[in-house]
Amino acid sequence: QQILVNDTFYPNKESAFIHVEDRGYQFGDGVYEVIRVYNGRVFKSFEHIQRLYRSANEISLSIPFSQNDMMSRLEELVNRSGLGTGNIYLQISRGAAPRTHAFPSTVESVFVAYCNVKERPEEMLSNGIKTITTEDIRWLRCDIKSLNLLGAVLANQQAHASDCYEAILHRDGIVTECSASNLFIVKEGTIFTHPANFFILNGITRQLILELAVKNGIKIIERPFTLEELFNAEEVFASSTTIEVMPVIQIDNTIIGKGKPGQLTKKLQELFSQAIS
Ligand code: PDD
């Protein structure tokens, strides 16, 4: 395994170190990305890098190298790691400095990236996942892919404690997204998903699904929907870099679409598979 810290490659996690006063560690003061690699090719790298720089900009963190540089670093990381299919995790924190809430006057950001081998979740993709619903207790800038993930961690843990894979989040009965993925429902042949605003992360997979739907004449509308609409949906699916187009077959005690992935969900899975090959 190769661990990239700033400009240096380390041969394993044990040899790479982060300062105890790193602001990412102490405050969650930083941003991150998870990028998929299929057969050695970095998927949607441009989109992920663009979102990373946007997230960084929204928290006034300047990344000391260009987006092109970032792209080359990630490609070198994948090559050195000899990664076929898996994930790249990368984060950039504001850096290490004596602990004060406000930005320190001198601090240099710390960039970390590494890869993990991870095959596509084939079984879940064909059978679908079970989910729970829970209140969205996260902050009001969910559009930023911030290292602060406690709201997501607690929701996801709640799902796992109930033997479920994901937690569907809602604010006062309006469904936003899931703990680590976006959410879509199908009603009378039309797909609905929450608009990209401060309440959700505008997923790269979500954007690809919108694009694929439009190109293939599938009706898709970005508008908020309620928990009631969710429970009465014909089909429900979640999306992310790691779970792709994932059928949801159960929400709390409600079975969705006879407990099997729906037609439109399967169609989008097919289009997604074509897009990555
Ligand atoms: N999660 N919404 C949230 C809150 C997320 O954390 C993610 C991704 C998504 C989907 O975004 P994308 O399609 O760009 O992966 C939506 C990543 C995979 C994670 O934190 O592991």
Looking up residue 159, the CATH number of its domain turns out to be: 3.20.10.10
50 by Cβ neighbours in 10 Å (0-12 / 13-18 / 19+) ranks as: middle
Q: In the listed set 96, 117, 138, which residue is the last one of a domain according to the structure?
A: 117
Looking up residue 106, the CATH number of its domain turns out to be: 3.30.470.10
Among residues 145, 187, 215, 258, which one is catalytic? 145
Q: What are 231-247's pLDDT values in tens digits?
A: 999 999 999 999 999 99
Band (252; pLDDT cuts 50, 70, 90):
very high
Choose among 245, 241, 27: nearest CA to 146. 27
pLDDT at res. 47:
98
Is the beta carbon of 91 within 6 A of some atom in ligand 1? Answer: no
Give mean pLDDT, residues 254-266.
Answer: 97
Q: Which range marks the domain in which residue 258 is found?
A: 122-276
1 pLDDT higher than 90: no
What span, in angstroms and rounded, lies between the C-alpha atoms of 172 and 227?
9
Is the beta carbon of 244 within 6 A of some atom in ligand 1? Answer: no
Band (263; pLDDT cuts 50, 70, 90):
very high
The number of angstroms, rounded, from the C-alpha of 263 to the middle of its chain's C-alpha atoms is: 24
What span, in angstroms and rounded, lies between the C-alpha atoms of 158 and 171?
17
CA atoms within 13 A on the CB side of 107: 27
Same domain, 37 and 129: no
Q: In the listed set 117, 137, 168, which residue is the last one of a domain according to the structure?
A: 117
DSSP 22: B
What span, in angstroms and rounded, lies between the C-alpha atoms of 264 and 79?
36
Q: What are 169-208's pLDDT values in tens digits?
A: 999 999 999 999 999 999 999 999 999 999 999 999 999 9
Band (14; pLDDT cuts 50, 70, 90):
very high
Same domain, 168 and 264: yes
Question: Partners of 30 in the beta sheet?
Answer: 93
Please report, as a single letter, which amino acid is at residue 40.
Answer: G
63 pLDDT higher than 90: yes
Same domain, 142 and 177: yes
Same domain, 172 and 260: yes
Same domain, 54 and 96: yes
Is the beta carbon of 209 within 6 A of some atom in ligand 1? Answer: no
pLDDT > 90: what percent of the chain? 100
181 by Cβ neighbours in 10 Å (0-12 / 13-18 / 19+) ranks as: buried
pLDDT at res. 30:
98
Q: What is the residue whose two structure tokens read 């540089």?
A: 69
Give mean pLDDT, residues 131-146.
Answer: 98
Same domain, 222 and 264: yes
Q: Which of 169, 181, 209 to mutate to test the pocket of ligand 1 (most atoms within 8 A of CB)?
A: 181
Ligand 1 centroid from CA 205, angstroms:
9
Helix (H, G, I), strand (E, B) or coil at 69: helix
Number of domains in the chain: 2
Is the beta carbon of 201 within 6 A of some atom in ligand 1? Answer: yes
Give mean pLDDT, residues 266-276.
Answer: 98
Same domain, 69 and 136: no
Q: Which of 34, 143, 193, 194 to mutate to test the pocket of ligand 1 (most atoms within 8 A of CB)?
A: 34
pLDDT > 70: what percent of the chain? 100
pLDDT at res. 277:
93
Please report, as a single letter, which amino acid is at residue 103.
Answer: F
134 pLDDT higher than 90: yes
Is the beta carbon of 55 within 6 A of some atom in ligand 1? Answer: no
Same domain, 140 and 261: yes
Give mean pLDDT, residues 47-54.
Answer: 98
Q: Which of 87, 115, 204, 241 to mutate to test the pocket of ligand 1 (most atoms within 8 A of CB)?
A: 241
Would you tell me the crossing angle of helices 67-81 and 45-58 to the nearest 10 degrees?
Answer: 130
Same domain, 30 and 126: no
What span, in angstroms and rounded, lies between the C-alpha atoms of 158 and 199?
20
Same domain, 126 and 242: yes
What ipTM does this complex have? Answer: 0.99
Is 145 considered catalytic here?
yes
Same domain, 89 and 158: no
Is the beta carbon of 181 within 6 A of some atom in ligand 1? Answer: yes
Residues near 1 by beta carbon (within 8 Å), at least 6 away in sequence: 11, 12, 13, 81, 114, 115
What span, in angstroms and rounded, lies between the C-alpha atoms of 268 and 213?
8
Same domain, 93 and 166: no
Q: In the listed set 117, 142, 165, which residue is the last one of a domain according to the structure?
A: 117
Band (253; pLDDT cuts 50, 70, 90):
very high
What span, in angstroms and rounded, lies between the C-alpha atoms of 94 and 226?
37
